[in-house]
Chain A
Amino acid sequence: MIETKTLPTAYVTDPRAMRSSSGKTLRTDEMIINMGPQHPSTHGVLRLEIVVDGEIIVDVIPHIGYLHRCFEKHAEHMTNYQQVIPYCDRLDYCAAINDEHSYVLAVERMLKIELPERVEYIRVIMAELQRIASHLIAVGTFGIDAGAFTPFLYAFHDRELILSLFEMTCGARLLYNYFWIGGLSHDLPPQFVDKAKEFCTYFKPRIKEFNDLLTFNEIFVKRTANVGVLPKDVAINYACSGPMLRASGINWDLRRDDPYSVYHKIEWEPKIGKGEMGTVGDVWDRHIVRMREMEESVKIIEQALAALPAGNVQAAIPKRIRPDAGEIYARTETPRGELGFYIISDGSGTPYRVKGRAPAFVNLSVLPDISRGAMIADLVLIAGSVDIVLGQVDR
């Protein structure tokens, strides 16, 4: 027997139901769509529950945790502080050097170590190379979200050159374990400086080509301008950082405002979004801020290569890493924002607590606010412009 279903009464008396002229109700409902953990365009295993009315978004609820790997628990069970560094690498696997830099900075500040100049300069070079590599992923995949498949491959071709520079130095392409507490694992190989200079000269026209192909393409501009606008006060209230914050017009960069390493000895400036193609803080602004940051990073690398002093990179590595009991919070400017490590030491060789403050986690929390009223096609671009890496979000 076929059961006939009766509609629940809520449907008929739903206040959102439209009434046609003959008095009968026309049921309109909001649809809940799942942009699931597996999707060609959420960057990683992120689940977005979207409540839509037609194509207009009413609400977005991100669900995270699909990549949680218990980083903080692992850190408490390592036999020494050095062993935590490979775990830090894997937080933001697209920008591993910057993760290491943040952690190593925190521990060195606890130990009050004075680093050789050479170590600091090499760290700056590596961090900026990693920033370029990470931004290339961001803008490449952002192009795919918008439908342009070619710029992604041009970006990854350039990224290959950077990764081969890393491989030449420390042996690994993606997860380096290069920054050690008090120094570096290897000194630069002899051919590194020339190859890095070669890369810088090669890369500058490639940025221009990328901009011509994607950034200033009218279709792309029309898709991204005035979309996903992040106002200044909202950005500050949500503690956004990195290119998201700077694109909203706020001049804040940790390399200058909470200085570490030798950034104060190099001439550079942070790039701010000005709303050239639409509103300040829209998706296009975030994209152009990333492109311009890549140019700035090339400048920093060239200056650091020119000023590289000689020295022993392993001179200051302590035999035993045993900080005094206490706590510290240290932060650096990673390609995605402010990555901070809060470490509590109990005086032994193992950390008592290591907490990573991931920028992508905080930046993602602003997604529902900026995407209300946008269309689904826009949501893909907005989520892409936040530039999340799920390893960082879930830790």
Chain B
Amino acid sequence: MEAFQNLGFWGTLLVTVILSALPLVFILLYALVTIYLEMKVAAHVQDRLAYMRTGWHGVLQPIADFIKLLQKEDIISVAADRRLFILAPYVVFMGTYAAYAAIPFSSIFIGANIDLGAFFIIGISSLVVVGILMAGWASNNKWSIFGAVRSAAQMVSYEIPTALAVLIAVMITGSLNLQEVTKFQAGGIQNWLIFGGPLPLLQKILIAPFTVITFLILFVASLAEVNRTPFDLPEAESELVQGFFTEYSGMRWALFYVAEYANMFLVAGVAVALFLGGWESPFGSFLSGPIWGMFWFIIKGMVLVFVQIWLRWTLPRLRVDQLMYTSWKVLTPFLFVCIIAVGLILVL
């Protein structure tokens, strides 16, 4: 970013637009890959084959789906609140996409190298809740309202464990800037925060169990943030048809869908950047560098996305009150204990 400082107003604007469109390109490509991956993993877990006819083993299916969705009729029910209905998918997508600005893809590529990176991400991704409520209300459908209200309750309550888990990582590193956190974990897999970080051995051994628990809780809370099973009550297919986006079809629905996948990678990326070493290579300086950094980041992100997909096809879903119970009475107390423990160990 520093190299482009002296281009003048239009130059800087052009460069900014191009650089901020890069994560969008990434999201679209990644969405195509992940949709295919999800269907294939789901199929093989269930002893069946998924797409086999479009291209070799169906690799062109996501493109075919995309083209199909493009040419669908745009149906907005007469009684729906038109403006909110149209605006909702964009708000949801914006909430997710804006957070991509602070994700460090590589040592040379981070959208906005702000000192408040983690705080910014947690804050801006709450915009998704607003979008979901808009979608549910504007659909003029009782089932959609159910889904939207449930989703709002769920996402708001799971912000707390997410924020606390991020806080623990920040405590150990001392910075909210995700790029700094990633650089803090340089030097190989043993320096990753999930194993305690690059601290003296005694502190590391004491801290390691707490950081493992924190990582797991962050992962579970982020599952709830993206409305994936076991927390997919807002989109519970078997109860609410499709929850808050029942009334959406065609490209609007595709936008919600892509937003959901983008959100998946976002929370996976945050967990990777904070706990799993970000773009640092697990072998220290071997296979590291700016381009390798991007490769490592994406690979680690995809591993976590794969675990999210795996969980979706294994577990039944939680009910609304059980979801709340998990957040407030299980995840948050455990995190409080972890905060106190990590704080004490760091001070000693």
Q: Which residues of A contact B (CB under 8 A)?
A: 31, 33, 39-41, 55, 143-150, 153-154, 157, 213-214, 217, 219-220, 222-223, 375-378, 380
In the assembled complex, the Cα of A150 lies from the Cα of B310 at a distance in Å of: 11
In the assembled complex, the Cα of A144 lies from the Cα of B239 at a distance in Å of: 10
B53, CB-defined interface residue at 8 Å: no
Check A213 against B314 for contact (C-beta < 8 Å): yes
Given A376-B239, A380-B239: A148 touches B316 (CB 8 Å cut-off): yes
Given A33-B143, A39-B241, A145-B238: A223 touches B47 (CB 8 Å cut-off): no
> Of A33, A40, A214, A375, which one neighbours B316 at CB under 8 angstroms?
A214
Check A377 against B143 for contact (C-beta < 8 Å): no
CB-nearest residue of chain B relative to A220? Answer: B316
Check A219 against B315 for contact (C-beta < 8 Å): yes
B313, CB-defined interface residue at 8 Å: yes
B183, CB-defined interface residue at 8 Å: no
B263, CB-defined interface residue at 8 Å: no
Task: Give the residues in chain B near A149, CB-CB below 8 Å.
Answer: 42, 46, 313
Check A147 against B313 for contact (C-beta < 8 Å): no
Check A41 against B47 for contact (C-beta < 8 Å): no
Interface-centre pick from A41, A147, A213, A220 (highest chain B CB count, 10 A): A147
In the assembled complex, the Cα of A144 lies from the Cα of B232 at a distance in Å of: 13
In the assembled complex, the Cα of A40 lies from the Cα of B246 at a distance in Å of: 12
> Of A55, A145, A147, which one neighbours B320 at CB under 8 angstroms?
A55
Check B239 against A222 for contact (C-beta < 8 Å): no
In the assembled complex, the Cα of A148 lies from the Cα of B319 at a distance in Å of: 13
What are 26 A-B pairs with beta-carbon distances under 8 A? Answer: A31-B142, A33-B142, A146-B238, A147-B230, A147-B238, A147-B316, A148-B316, A148-B317, A150-B46, A153-B46, A153-B48, A154-B46, A154-B47, A213-B314, A217-B316, A219-B315, A219-B316, A219-B317, A220-B316, A223-B316, A223-B317, A375-B321, A376-B239, A377-B233, A377-B239, A380-B238
B interface, size bucket: 20 to 34
Expressed in whole angstroms, the minimum distance between the Cβ of B159 and any Cβ of chain A is: 22
Task: Give the residues in chain A near B317, CB-CB below 8 Å.
Answer: 146-148, 219, 223
In the assembled complex, the Cα of A371 lies from the Cα of B321 at a distance in Å of: 17
In the assembled complex, the Cα of A363 lies from the Cα of B226 at a distance in Å of: 39
Task: Give the residues in chain B near A219, CB-CB below 8 Å.
Answer: 230, 315-318, 322
Expressed in whole angstroms, the minimum distance between the Cβ of B139 and any Cβ of chain A is: 14
Given A147-B315, A147-B317, A217-B315: A153 touches B47 (CB 8 Å cut-off): yes
In the assembled complex, the Cα of A33 lies from the Cα of B141 at a distance in Å of: 10
In the assembled complex, the Cα of A144 lies from the Cα of B238 at a distance in Å of: 7
Given A39-B241, A41-B238, A376-B239: A146 touches B316 (CB 8 Å cut-off): yes
In the assembled complex, the Cα of A378 lies from the Cα of B233 at a distance in Å of: 12
Near A by CB (< 8 A), chain B positions 224-244 give 229-230, 232-233, 236-239, 241
Check A150 against B239 for contact (C-beta < 8 Å): no
Task: Give the residues in chain B near A148, CB-CB below 8 Å.
Answer: 314-317
Task: Give the residues in chain A near B67, CB-CB below 8 Å.
Answer: none
B295, CB-defined interface residue at 8 Å: no
Residues 113-155 of chain B, each 1 if its beta carbon lies under 8 Å from chain A, else 0: 0000000000000000000000000000011001000000000
CB-nearest residue of chain B relative to A149? Answer: B313
B299, CB-defined interface residue at 8 Å: no
In the assembled complex, the Cα of A33 lies from the Cα of B48 at a distance in Å of: 36
Task: Give the residues in chain A near B48, CB-CB below 8 Å.
Answer: 153
In the assembled complex, the Cα of A223 lies from the Cα of B233 at a distance in Å of: 13
Given A147-B316, A149-B46: A222 touches B236 (CB 8 Å cut-off): no
Check A147 against B232 for contact (C-beta < 8 Å): yes
